[in-house]
């Protein structure tokens, strides 16, 4: 059985346990309370600890739960939903273990599976319901809507000849998604067009890409931004590197900021692209896991043969970089293979195994811990903290900016932090997360800009602009993003118009804050317009121009090459 199935599926013995429970229910017609208790027994069986079922203590706990649920059902002042109570009990049980063991209700689980598979069947659009109308944010590249000529900012006013005004997100997905090969008719109101446009679209398999952007950012520097590690990430990443290499890439910035992780095996493949293999006696470890059960302990080793093993490399990370992303950045750092730049990562190093349940729900149970090649535990401590405290802690670190090649910043402030050695002899720190080799903070935006961001003012204004005075921009630049980046400017009249628009939303402009963040305001407006014209890659291409972490990384390749002994 392959790695991913072992990590996220049930074993055959677990399925037998659940089937036995179902048969018993059918034969005996047990009460609701007994059924709930059997569900818990089945869930425990799925954890792989069947041998404990005969233990008196476990039976005592199941009986205790059944007794309480029975009393509640019979005696509570209002009618109760025992299914909801059982779900709440499961949530509470898993919450008491660690922050990452979770219960996933049936409706959510279907989307979780879809997200990690990286595909679904439908028409292929990214959308938002704005003022009760379905607005196309972007047709997914290569999908049936894009092939038929659906454009960003098109308004879907009818689906199968019925009005789609006031649809919810769930309504849209229910009616536009469907089996490959089936047809759906949509009617579109396109800004600048008098008549409605009808499209008959044949649904197809739509890929949900884990790579937001792969582009050249200078004559020889390639840039790849990865948003998650899905089943398709390795395949996407290999294709992106090959494309950039053909365009002259000789150095690479890998952006893992706000990448919350995903499949361990996909992270292993990514790191392996840049690491040469060791020997039979001394294999080069990328990541390994430890558990109280041997079946969950694994080690992943690099293999030689990839064409990027000598490619100068910088990885961008921040407080939202977690799990599989930390595996990649930790392995690169421990082997002195490249430079890690940004802010200390989240610190999520627990391995979850996912167990589906009979009602379409599932739960993830922590079964092991990740360690980097030097022996660092990636997981940050969560003892004595509730989930909110644990989450917020990762984003409230007070880090000293600057060069941190020997990782002395935190070492000076906290001598209890465990220290490790890279294979090149540098000191790196444990204690949770990956501390960058060069600390660069993302920068704090003023309250004004944060308000504009939260209220979607940049998005809404750019939408009105591209439909009105900026309608000619689309035809002027076509598909030439580089021309747009170099020649399109946010003019003073446009800024004045933007200020008037802000006022119509009853937002007071603090002049000091406005001037302080004026460069960012211009860049964000330009980036948002670029997204309407060129998709999300257009947005990223523009916003990198005011991204201080990225801009700093562009100056650090000499240091990255020095650490990797590539000079």
Question: How does pLDDT run across 260-283, given as a tens digit for each residue?
Answer: 998 899 999 999 999 999 888 888
Last residue of a domain, one of 207, 228, 253: 207
Quick one: 149 and 217 in the same domain?
A: no
Q: How confident is the model at residue 43 (pLDDT cuts 50, 70, 90)?
A: low
Where in the sequence is the domain holding 514, given as residue range(s)? 447-551
Asked whether the predicted pLDDT for residue 233 surpasses 90, the reply is yes
- Same domain assignment for residues 437 and 507: no
Last residue of a domain, one of 207, 222, 237: 207
348 is catalytic: yes
**Region 290-305: what's the mean pLDDT?**
93
User: Residue range 218-247: average pLDDT?
Assistant: 95
Are residue 329 and residue 394 in the same domain, yes or no?
Answer: yes
Same domain, 215 and 167: no
Is 90 exceeded by the pLDDT of residue 426? Answer: yes
pLDDT number for residue 318: 93
Q: Residue 52: which pLDDT band, with cuts at 50, 70 and 90?
A: very low
For residue 359, what pLDDT band results from cuts at 50, 70 and 90? confident
**Whether residue 424 is found in the same domain as residue 534:** no
Catalytic residue among 348, 463, 485, 522: 348
- Pair (426, 474) in one structural domain: no
Rounded CA-CA distance 14/376 in Å is: 33
d(CA 216, CA 224): 9
Please say if the pLDDT value at position 41 is more than 60: no
Same domain, 280 and 403: yes
Asked if the structure places residue 468 within a domain, the reply is yes
Within 10 A of 81 (CB to CB), how many other CB atoms are there? 10
Per-residue CA distances from 524 to 387, 541, 555 (Å): 33, 11, 23
How far is 80 from 360, CA to CA, in rounded Å?
Answer: 22
DSSP assignment string, 433-502: S---SEE----PPPHHHHHHHHTTHHHHHHHHHHHTTTTTHHHHHTT-HHHHHHH----HHHHHHHHHHH
CA atoms of 440 and 344, how far apart (whole Å): 10
Among the ranges given (76-80, 125-129, 540-544), the one the predictor scored with the smallest mean pLDDT: 125-129
- Residue found by looking up tokens 């004026």 in the block: 518
Q: Are residues 187 and 220 in the same domain?
A: no
Q: Is 325 found in the same domain as 345?
A: yes
Domain final position from 155, 182, 207: 207
Active site residue 290: no
Q: Which of 319, 313, 280 is nearest to 440 (CA)?
A: 319
Residues 6+ apart with CB under 8 A from 145: 123, 124, 125, 136, 139, 199, 201
Q: Are residues 282 and 311 in the same domain?
A: yes
Higher pLDDT, 110 or 377: 377
The residues, ordered by sequence, that sit 6+ positions from 370 with a Cβ below 8 Å of its Cβ are: 264, 287, 288, 289, 323, 326, 327, 349, 350, 351, 377, 378, 379
Catalytic member of 272, 334, 336, 517: 334
End-to-end CA distance of the chain: 43
In-domain check, residue 106: no
Are 223 and 337 part of one and the same domain? yes
Q: For the chain, how many structural domains are there in total?
A: 4
| pLDDT of 238 higher than 80 | yes
Within a domain: 392: yes
| 388 catalytically annotated | no
337 with 260, same domain?
Answer: yes
In which region does residue 208 sit, left (phi positive, over 0), alpha (psi from -120 to 50) or beta (all else)?
beta
Q: Which of 101, 323, 325, 462 is catalytic?
A: 323
């Amino acid at each position: 059985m392959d790695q991913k199935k072992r990590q996220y599926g049930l074993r055959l013995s677990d399925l037998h346990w659940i089937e036995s429970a179902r048969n018993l229910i059918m034969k005996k017609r047990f009460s609701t309370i007994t059924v709930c208790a059997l569900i818990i027994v089945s869930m425990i069986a799925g954890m792989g600890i069947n041998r404990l079922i005969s233990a008196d203590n476990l039976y005592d706990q199941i009986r205790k739960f059944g007794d309480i649920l029975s009393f509640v059902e019979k005696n509570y002042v209002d009618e109760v939903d025992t299914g909801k109570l059982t779900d709440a009990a499961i949530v509470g049980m898993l919450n008491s273990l660690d922050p990452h063991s979770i219960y996933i209700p049936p409706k959510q689980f279907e989307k979780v599976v879809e997200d990690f598979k990286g595909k679904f069947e439908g028409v292929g659009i990214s959308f938002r319901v704005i003022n009760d109308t379905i607005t196309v944010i972007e047709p997914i590249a290569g999908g049936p809507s894009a092939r038929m000529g659906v454009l960003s900012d098109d308004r879907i006013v009818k689906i199968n000849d019925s009005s789609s005004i006031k649809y919810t997100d769930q309504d849209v997905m229910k009616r536009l998604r469907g089996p490959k090969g089936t047809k759906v008719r949509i009617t579109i109101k396109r800004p600048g067009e008098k008549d409605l446009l009808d499209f008959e679209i044949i649904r197809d398999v739509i890929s949900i890409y884990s790579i937001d952007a792969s582009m050249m950012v200078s004559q020889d520097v390639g840039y790849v931004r990865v948003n998650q590690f899905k089943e398709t990430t390795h395949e996407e990443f290999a294709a992106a590197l090959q494309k950039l290499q053909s365009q002259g890439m000789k150095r690479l910035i890998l952006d893992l900021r706000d990448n919350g992780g995903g499949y361990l095996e996909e992270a292993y493949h990514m790191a392996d692209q840049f690491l040469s293999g060791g020997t039979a006696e001394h294999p080069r470890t990328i990541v390994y896991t430890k558990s109280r059960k041997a079946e969950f302990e694994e080690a992943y080793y690099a293999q030689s043969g990839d064409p990027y093993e000598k490619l100068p490399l910088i990885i961008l990370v921040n407080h939202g970089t977690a799990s599989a992303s930390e595996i990649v950045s930790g392995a690169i750092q421990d082997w002195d293979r490249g430079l890690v730049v940004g802010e200390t990562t989240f610190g999520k190093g627990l391995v979850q195994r996912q167990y589906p349940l009979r009602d379409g729900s599932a739960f993830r149970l922590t079964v092991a811990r990740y360690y980097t090649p030097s022996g660092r535990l990636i997981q940050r401590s969560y003892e004595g903290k509730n989930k909110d405290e644990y989450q917020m802690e990762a984003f409230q670190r007070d880090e000293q900016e600057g060069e941190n090649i020997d990782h002395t910043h935190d070492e000076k402030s906290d001598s209890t932090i465990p220290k490790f050695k890279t294979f090149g002899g540098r000191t790196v720190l444990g204690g949770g997360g990956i501390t960058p080799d060069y600390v660069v903070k993302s920068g704090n935006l003023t309250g004004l800009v944060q308000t504009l961001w939260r209220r979607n003012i940049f998005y809404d204004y750019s939408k009105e602009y591209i439909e009105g005075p900026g309608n000619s921009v689309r035809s002027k630049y076509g598909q030439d993003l580089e021309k747009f980046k170099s020649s399109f400017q946010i003019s003073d009249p446009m800024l004045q118009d933007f200020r008037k628009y802000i006022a119509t939303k009853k937002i007071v402009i603090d002049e000091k804050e406005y001037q302080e963040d004026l460069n960012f305001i211009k860049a964000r407006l330009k980036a948002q317009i670029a997204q309407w014209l060129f998709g999300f890659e257009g947005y990223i291409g523009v916003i990198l121009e005011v991204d201080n972490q990225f801009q700093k990384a562009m100056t650090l390749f000499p240091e990255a090459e020095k650490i990797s002994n590539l000079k």
